[in-house]
């Protein structure tokens, strides 16, 4: 089965892995700390995906663009390479339920008040599992279509620029300390790019990985910084910080002559992005399960289903568990992944020093 990705599909796939809950919550989260300078924090937070994607491009090139399991074995040896994938398994098993909880809560508060939460979670987990059963090329094609719909939010927001006030952004730099303090809040929005370590061997033109990394990073930074900037320009940082689903609030309360129901259109586009984000993020988890336990890939797709469902449903019903267990664990795993990437880059550098790479 042909599993090759074009560079455009790879770029779209990684972009979709970033654009999930952050599109709704990032502006509010950052404004609580950085106030009117929150858009600067969104830009600086882009260092994380830049580091992850460039590191992946470097490691892949140095190790001849081989499959992830072979990268792990060449860098960490036969036995330790079986432990590394557990980080990605835990990462996905925590991160996917977090996305599903945010998505379900927003649906319940907007258009699905009468739809049982249990049914929403079941449908979402079922959809993710069905998509995971497909090869990565199918997800790449879907991502290529979806990313244009998601990025169209930029164009829609342009119509609100005449209703904003530049004073809402003054002074542009309120406090350097507050700007830096807000940066960790962008972790959830910029999380997801780690999947690139599992995809480099599928790309048809592997020599453009570094260029692709730069395109992806600057696109997602611009996308998030632009949204935060426009939202503050339109609403002001005080109202933005008090409104959790700020983008949805704007589309719900504002009208355009050319579009009668902005909220419905946005929810359709965003739902599609959420579906793909979770499906993409499940790939490292399923791949790692298949590798560690020597399972057929399709059988491995079914293994995490009960765990994803239980964690999603418990988090939805128990807000204390969600905020004190799930979210902190997700941040800890993200930090561990960053350390793992840094260590891997250093090991690869010394192991391949003096070698000639294609």
Q: What is the pLDDT of residues 303-358, one digit of tens each?
A: 999 999 999 999 999 999 999 999 999 989 999 999 999 999 999 999 888 665 54
Q: Which long-range contacts (CB under 8 A, 24 or more apart) does 302-310 make?
A: 302/129, 304/89, 304/92, 304/93, 305/125, 305/129, 307/93, 308/93, 308/96, 308/97, 308/100, 308/125, 308/128, 309/121, 309/122, 309/125
Percentage of the chain lying above the pLDDT 70 cut = 96
Assigned domain for 358 exists: no
Assigned domain for 321 exists: yes
pLDDT at 131: 84
Domain span holding position 43:
7-349
Assigned domain for 357 exists: no
What average pLDDT does the segment 22-32 reach? 90
What average pLDDT does the segment 291-306 reach? 92
What average pLDDT does the segment 174-197 reach? 88
What average pLDDT does the segment 286-301 reach? 92
Assigned domain for 193 exists: yes
Q: What is the pLDDT of residues 39-65, one digit of tens each?
A: 999 999 999 999 999 999 999 999 989
Assigned domain for 232 exists: yes
Compare 141 and 114 and report the one with higher pLDDT. 141
Assigned domain for 356 exists: no
pLDDT at 357: 53
Assigned domain for 16 exists: yes
Enter the tokens of residue 347: 């090991």
Assigned domain for 354 exists: no
Enter the tokens of residue 16: 């979709």
pLDDT at 147: 85
Secondary structure of residue 312 in the 3-state scheme:
helix
- CATH number for the domain spanning 48: value is 1.20.1740.10
Q: Tell whether the model's pLDDT for residue 276 goes beyond 70.
A: yes
Enter the pTM of the model.
0.90
Task: Give the chain's domain count.
Answer: 1
């Amino acid at each position: 089965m042909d599993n090759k990705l074009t560079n455009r599909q790879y770029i779209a796939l990684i972009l979709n892995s970033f654009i999930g809950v952050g599109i709704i919550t990032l502006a509010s989260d950052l404004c609580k700390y950085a106030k009117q300078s929150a858009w600067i924090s969104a830009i600086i937070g882009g260092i994380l995906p830049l580091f992850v994607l460039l590191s992946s491009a470097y490691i892949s090139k140095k190790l001849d663009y081989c499959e992830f399991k072979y990268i792990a074995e060449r860098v960490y040896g036969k036995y330790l390479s079986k432990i590394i994938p557990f980080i990605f398994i835990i990462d996905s098993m925590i991160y996917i339920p977090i996305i599903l909880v945010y998505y379900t809560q927003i649906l319940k508060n907007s258009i699905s008040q009468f739809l049982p939460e249990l049914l929403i979670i079941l449908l979402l987990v079922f959809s993710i599992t069905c998509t995971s059963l497909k090869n990565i090329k199918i997800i790449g094609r879907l991502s290529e279509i979806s990313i244009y719909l998601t990025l169209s939010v930029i164009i829609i927001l342009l119509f609100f620029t005449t209703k904003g006030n530049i004073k809402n952004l003054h002074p542009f730099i309120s406090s350097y300390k507050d700007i830096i303090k807000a940066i960790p809040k962008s972790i959830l929005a910029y999380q997801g790019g780690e999947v690139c370590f599992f995809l480099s061997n599928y790309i048809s033109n592997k020599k453009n990985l570094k260029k692709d990394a730069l395109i992806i990073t600057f696109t997602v930074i611009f996308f998030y910084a632009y949204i935060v900037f426009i939202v503050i320009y339109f609403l002001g940082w005080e109202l933005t910080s008090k409104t959790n689903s700020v983008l949805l609030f704007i589309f719900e309360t504002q009208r355009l002559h050319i579009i009668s129901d902005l909220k419905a259109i946005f929810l359709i586009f965003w739902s599609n992005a959420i579906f793909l984000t979770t499906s993409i993020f499940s790939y490292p988890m399923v791949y790692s399960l298949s590798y560690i336990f020597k399972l057929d890939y399709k059988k491995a797709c079914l293994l995490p289903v009960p765990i994803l469902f239980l964690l999603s449903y418990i988090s939805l019903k128990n807000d204390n568990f969600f905020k004190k267990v799930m979210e902190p664990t997700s941040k800890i795993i993200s930090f561990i992944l960053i350390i793992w990437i840094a260590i891997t880059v250093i090991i690869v550098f010394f192991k391949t020093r003096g070698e000639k790479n294609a």
